[in-house]
Amino acid sequence: MYDGTPRPFALPTSRSGRRALRAAGAAAALSAVLLTGCGGPDRAGQDKPAATAADGFPLTVENCGVRTTYDAPPSRVVTIHQHPAELMLSLGLGDRMVGTAFPDSAVLPELREKFEAIPELAAKEPSFETILDAEPDFVYGGYGSAFAENEGRSREAFEDAGIHTHLNREYCGKKQVSMQDTYDEIGAIGELFGVQDRADALVADLRSRVTAASKAVDGEREVSVFVYDSGDKSAFTAGGKSLGTEVIRLAGGRNVFADLDDVFGDVSWEQVVARKPEVIAIYDYAGAGNVEQKKRFLLSQPALADVPAVKNERFVVLPLTATLVGVRAPYAVEDLARGLHPKRFP
């Protein structure tokens, strides 16, 4: 099963490396409610003091088969991969973060200043020793590779070092990923850090945004969508069990490979041609060729010339992080809905 780590792009051009974001200093707390990056109304708020150890602690949490008891909320956190970092910041927990690693794409504009104030430990997954140097009491991983045993970063190794860990629920061996997983992950982190009120407010806001975007396209004919992640000999795409497929549905579309019984998988270009997608959603992330490379590749293939999406050059771009369990997926619903049904949005 795909573990979520972005795959190298297979175009016959030079590969772009992951863009390392420079950061230094300590981060201040962020608003309890995430601001949208797609032109939505701004919402401002003030962080409330975090819960003390007496408020709901000790707390026992079971995460991906690992049972941990916390005597108090974590206070020195390292996040591995971008979506856990953005979730933490969206809950106003930047002041607890002592390191980040492995940014996938440009950080949400509303979070960028806070994100850049946190030291970046590595452009990809940092070594176990590098993480220890940051003296964390908690490591939050986004993909399963955050805790790769063969690289010395097993959860057991961290626990032996006195460091608790948490893995995004998307990589707990789930066979189906949904928007509810996003809301549940936010709630779990809110409880773990003693900021359940912030988590509840964030989830309520994200739910309302998804509802509003879906209502805006209600009654419209579903637009057929092909997700292009990467690949040249074959196409690596989102299957029916991916969160991306639900994002497409909520945005008034239909994933042409919703019948692919996995989160991600490879399909042939002949299959893409046969399914005649009207729109191609390009997943954007560092290390997989930039969006313009991907577009040029698709437009240059004679076999794809009569595919409606290629013929009409109907492409929409989604950051890979927008299709993962984190704060971005609800915003991606509106972004994609605008691309699929532009007449429904001013």
Give all domains of the chain, ordered by start, each with its CATH number: 59-209 (3.40.50.1980), 222-344 (3.40.50.1980)
Cα–Cα distance, 189 to 282 (Å, whole number): 30
- Which pLDDT score, from 0 to 100, does residue 106 have? 85
Q: Characterize 52-63 residue by residue with b for buried, 16 or more Cβ atoms within 10 angstroms of its Cβ, and e for exposed.
A: eeeeebebeeeb
> Residue 196 has which token pair?
């359940």
Give me the amino acid identity at 220.
E
3-state secondary structure of 16: coil
What's the CA dihedral at 164, 168, 169, 170 to 10 degrees? -150
Question: Is the distance from CB of 21 to CB of 121 less than 8 angstroms?
Answer: no
Nearest to 265 by CA among 286, 244, 247: 244
Nearest to 21 by CA among 94, 141, 112, 129: 112
Q: DSSP assignment, residue 339?
A: H
- Which pLDDT score, from 0 to 100, does residue 105 have? 84
Cα–Cα distance, 34 to 315 (Å, whole number): 27
3-state secondary structure of 70: strand
Which DSSP string do the residues of 255-273 spell out, in sequence order?
ETTTTSSSSEEEE-HHHHH
Residue 43 burial (10 A CB sphere; 0-12, 13-18, 19+): middle
- Which pLDDT score, from 0 to 100, does residue 23 have? 32
> Residue 116 has which token pair?
């850049």
Nearest to 330 by CA among 190, 197, 207, 204: 207
Residue 177 CA from chain centroid, whole number: 12
> Which segments of 232-343 does DSSP mark as H helices, in order?
243-250, 269-275, 291-300, 308-311, 329-340
Residue 210 CA from chain centroid, whole number: 16
Cα–Cα distance, 220 to 225 (Å, whole number): 15
How many CB atoms sit inside 10 A of residue 182's CB?
Answer: 27
Question: Is the distance from CB of 108 to CB of 328 less than 8 angstroms?
Answer: yes
Residue 97: strand pairing partners? 77
- Which pLDDT score, from 0 to 100, does residue 104 have? 84
Nearest to 337 by CA among 279, 259, 263: 279
Cα–Cα distance, 31 to 145 (Å, whole number): 30
Residue 316: strand pairing partners? 281
Report the greatest alpha carbon distance in the chain: 65
How many CB atoms sit inside 10 A of residue 189's CB?
Answer: 24
- Which pLDDT score, from 0 to 100, does residue 286 have? 79
Q: List the chain pLDDT tens, one digit each, 346 residues.
A: 445 555 544 443 332 332 233 233 333 333 333 333 333 333 333 344 454 445 889 999 999 999 999 999 999 999 999 999 999 999 999 999 999 999 988 888 999 999 999 999 999 999 999 999 999 999 999 999 999 999 999 999 999 999 999 999 999 988 899 999 999 999 999 999 999 999 999 999 999 999 999 999 999 999 999 999 999 999 999 999 999 999 999 999 999 999 999 999 999 999 999 999 999 999 998 776 789 999 999 999 999 999 999 999 999 999 999 999 999 999 999 999 999 999 999 8
